[in-house]
Amino acid sequence: MSDSSATWLQTLESLLVQRNGPLTRELLREPGRFGLGQVPASRLPTRTTRSVCGYCSTGCSLDVHLQDEGAVGLSPSTDYPVNLGMACPKGWEALTPLEAHDRVTTPLLRNDTGELVPISWPEAIEVFVERMGGIRERHGGDALAFLSTGQIPTEEMLSLGAIARFGIGMHHGDGNTRQCMATAVSAYKESFGFDAPPYSYADFEASDVLVLVGSNLCIAHPILWERICRNPHDPRIVVVDPRRTETAVAATDHFAIRPRSDLPFFYALANELITRDWIDRDFIEAHTEGFEAFAAHVAGFTAESVAETSGIAAEELRRLAELIHRGERVSFWWTMGVNQGHEATRVAQSLIALSLITGQIGRPGTGANSITGQCNAMGSRLFSGTSSLFGGRSFSDPNERQEVAEILNVPVERIQTQAGLAYDQILDAAETGRVRGLWVIATNTAHSWIERSRMDRAFDALEFLVVQDLYATTETAQRADLVLPAAGWGEKEGSFINSERRIGVTKKVRRAPGQALADFHIFRLLAEAFGVGAMFDRWKTPEDVFASMKALSRGRFCDFSGIEGYAQLDATGGIQWPCTEAEAAHGGPERERRLFEDGVFPTPSGRARLVFDTPRDVPESTDARYPFVLLTGRGSSSQWHTQTRTAKSAVLRKLSRTEPYVELSPDDAARLEIGAGDRVRLESRRGFVVLRAMVTTAVAPGQVFVPMHYVEANRLTLHVVDPHSRQPAYKHCAVRISQAQPRDEAAQM
């Protein structure tokens, strides 16, 4: 363990012990060998159950210790194949946000004076039906939309998608996975034929070269970083990132490319590998299509020609090519630094191409691997019924609509023939009056969506906004006409699918406060109220919905019809898809599995496609007035997205900065006479904010960085989406920075 890890753990331990007492110290000190007999009998839980964490896509398992009233503590599961006894601060503190004083415990309705006041559930349901139904009567289903989330169990996503679309008749639905994973979905679908991240976490430990692109794994996915630290092969850890992140500092090699110079850079890298014949021609010939055209395209990008735009010298790019060439098991990993760009899908596909042309896929320690963000982004990708029809099907395919209709026993004519509008289009349509009723479930759009002022205009124009969440204090709930109180993680059951496609169970370990209900029950109540309850009558419990999920997956590339149910998932430590009935009949599911070991891809030809494009200029260049590039991203491992939950924990607040800040380089700070801790004005063409200056070598001169966790970030960002995935480009816009003046502070009040 490094000194900094030890200090970090000590800080965490003392904070957790202060709050939870000595039991926590014992758990922290010996998480791998925790025995209940070692703690005082008075502190013994009466029983322990197991549940998958509800924050990030790593999908750690937590042993939740229960007494009569419900959960009293938790510790990481030691034998779960994902986290192997580890958890990050958010996981350790997962129970705390559930006890927050601002939990919403009754439905709330905005009254004539603009206040949100408590009402009963029957009144709330009546208002929902009257207002949403009224809009549908007057303007049709085209005027209704929902925005869902990657934070609820898959069973709830499926029931929401089915009830909202087929039952209530909403034509449009999307989710916050559009903000993080849409690019990976588009890239995989086009290149592999199915949205199929191919890896298993065991690959982190099997690679001898890991290339991490736009991924600050140390803080974004700390347990996955721990898996790399367990790699016994003394791997080269290559980070490609404009910032000198915590991960870049810990890596063996850091290539600090200039923001959004990635596509030409990776094309030049591919060209270097091809030119030197450091590619796997047998694999290319047998398992890919489009190589000749790809090679001809990337021939236009050389190490020399991209050196100036990328900031990486030609010999450095060649050194990276050689590292990849010398590796026996090379894996490429990416997250938001790739996904949140103006040409993100093509950048993701350039990494897929690097993996394909070198034959680094389908074997242990290899792959073109997108790491997901939210705990159930992968569930959303398959079963939210938003951009695709359930099980990775298409709304526009009549045969696939018929399949879904038969499996779910709903009339096929109730299934829309198009996916409907994407997230950005829904907000645009709200602004123009096309979408009039919006239902937001477990996401905080008003904080997280790009370019706040645009989002404000959209919300201002809505006729009716419903927010369904744990708290009425989120920026989005504060704008709602109606708030529906929802149970959170730990207060309901279901399943999540993690980044490595592992399906795990999350359980109810405490009662939701007041009248808060599981989202599943709210959806079912609304179905009844709209008179379509009978259509979904088969779903009495979340596990009934899981049975439908299995049926919807049968025969698809993600087929997990061989999974028996929750009890088996619980007993086996989760199961990765695919797990077909035939496989289950012959020895059962494997503990670890990766895709494409046979070199066959789910495209019509069975071959992976090499996809490329002409790089495009950034939508907003820096200039004399706005000379800095603004980057956004995660700030720490103790903060989650808009901090809706993590800000409720005193422990987590102490492990991060509560005051919004901007990072800038020592060179720029000296030139602008800005000192560490100064209040500064950060301004884009959309507006300005006042933040605390943090002077650090983590950012290069000419760049500044603001964590996404603070509402200030999106007052500056520019509304641009990747044309293929429609994922927002949060990672690049032009700003200027100066000392804040008293009038700036006053304007921010």
Of 270, 488, 473, 501, nearest in space to 379 by CA? 501
User: Do 280 and 357 touch, CB atoms closer than 8 A?
Assistant: yes
Shortest gap between Cβ of 631 and ligand SF4 (angstroms)?
23
Shortest gap between Cβ of 273 and ligand SF4 (angstroms)?
33
Of 710, 571, 572, nearest in space to 640 by CA? 710
Size (the chain), residues: 749
Give, rounded to a whole angstrom, the gap between the first and last alpha carbons of the chain. 45
Note whether 87 binds ligand SF4 by CB under 6 A.
yes
Distance, CA of 309 to CA of 388 (rounded, Å): 37
User: What is the residue whose two structure tokens read 């149970």?
Assistant: 487
Q: Which is nearer to ligand SF4, 247 or 553 (CB)?
A: 247
Q: Which is nearer to ligand SF4, 372 or 561 (CB)?
A: 372
User: Do 665 and 242 touch, CB atoms closer than 8 A?
Assistant: no
- Which range in 54-62, 323-331, 524-532, 686-694 contacts ligand SF4 by CB under 6 A? 54-62
Note whether 574 binds ligand SF4 by CB under 6 A.
no
- Which range in 85-93, 190-198, 208-216, 590-598 contacts ligand SF4 by CB under 6 A? 85-93
Q: Which is nearer to ligand SF4, 63 or 424 (CB)?
A: 63
Q: Which is nearer to ligand SF4, 77 or 580 (CB)?
A: 77
Other CB atoms within 10 A of residue 201 CB: 26
**Please, where are the H alpha helices in 467-574?**
519-529, 542-553, 566-572
Q: Which is nearer to ligand SF4, 53 or 143 (CB)?
A: 53
Note whether 379 binds ligand SF4 by CB under 6 A.
no
User: Do 64 and 51 touch, CB atoms closer than 8 A?
Assistant: yes
- Which range in 35-43, 56-64, 311-319, 642-650 contacts ligand SF4 by CB under 6 A? 56-64
- Which range in 30-38, 86-94, 380-388, 531-539 contacts ligand SF4 by CB under 6 A? 86-94
Of 509, 355, 377, nearest in space to 56 by CA? 377
Shortest gap between Cβ of 38 and ligand SF4 (angstroms)?
23
| Among 12, 20, 45, 59, contact with ligand SF4 (rule: CB under 6 A) | 59
Shortest gap between Cβ of 90 and ligand SF4 (angstroms)?
4
Q: Which is nearer to ligand SF4, 125 or 152 (CB)?
A: 152
Note whether 53 binds ligand SF4 by CB under 6 A.
yes
CB-neighbour burial class of residue 11 (10 A; exposed 0-12, middle 13-18, buried 19+): middle
Distance, CA of 732 to CA of 710 (rounded, Å): 17
Residues contacting ligand SF4: total by CB under 6 A: 13
Q: Which residue is nearest to ligand SF4 (CB)?
A: 91
| Among 12, 28, 71, 88, contact with ligand SF4 (rule: CB under 6 A) | 88
Site for ligand SF4 in 279-308 (CB under 6 A): none
Of 557, 565, 553, 552, nearest in space to 494 by CA? 565
Note whether 55 binds ligand SF4 by CB under 6 A.
yes
Of 8, 55, 351, nearest in space to 221 by CA? 55
| Among 15, 16, 28, 56, contact with ligand SF4 (rule: CB under 6 A) | 56
Of 191, 179, 173, nearest in space to 150 by CA? 179
Q: Which is nearer to ligand SF4, 88 or 361 (CB)?
A: 88
User: What is the residue whose two structure tokens read 């030409």?
Assistant: 264
Shortest gap between Cβ of 246 and ligand SF4 (angstroms)?
15
Contacts (Cβ under 8 Å, ≥6 apart) of 371: 57, 215, 217, 220, 221, 224, 333, 334, 335, 499
- In this structure, what token pair is assigned to residue 633? 């991203």
Other CB atoms within 10 A of residue 18 CB: 12
Shortest gap between Cβ of 355 and ligand SF4 (angstroms)?
25
Note whether 58 binds ligand SF4 by CB under 6 A.
yes
Shortest gap between Cβ of 83 and ligand SF4 (angstroms)?
6
Site for ligand SF4 in 196-255 (CB under 6 A): 222-223
Q: What secondary structure letter does DSSP report for 370?
A: E
Q: Which is nearer to ligand SF4, 87 or 462 (CB)?
A: 87
Q: Which is nearer to ligand SF4, 86 or 450 (CB)?
A: 86
The DSSP bridge pattern shows strands 679-684 and 687-695 to be antiparallel
Residues near ligand SF4, by CB under 6 A = 53, 55-56, 58-60, 83, 87-88, 90-91, 222-223
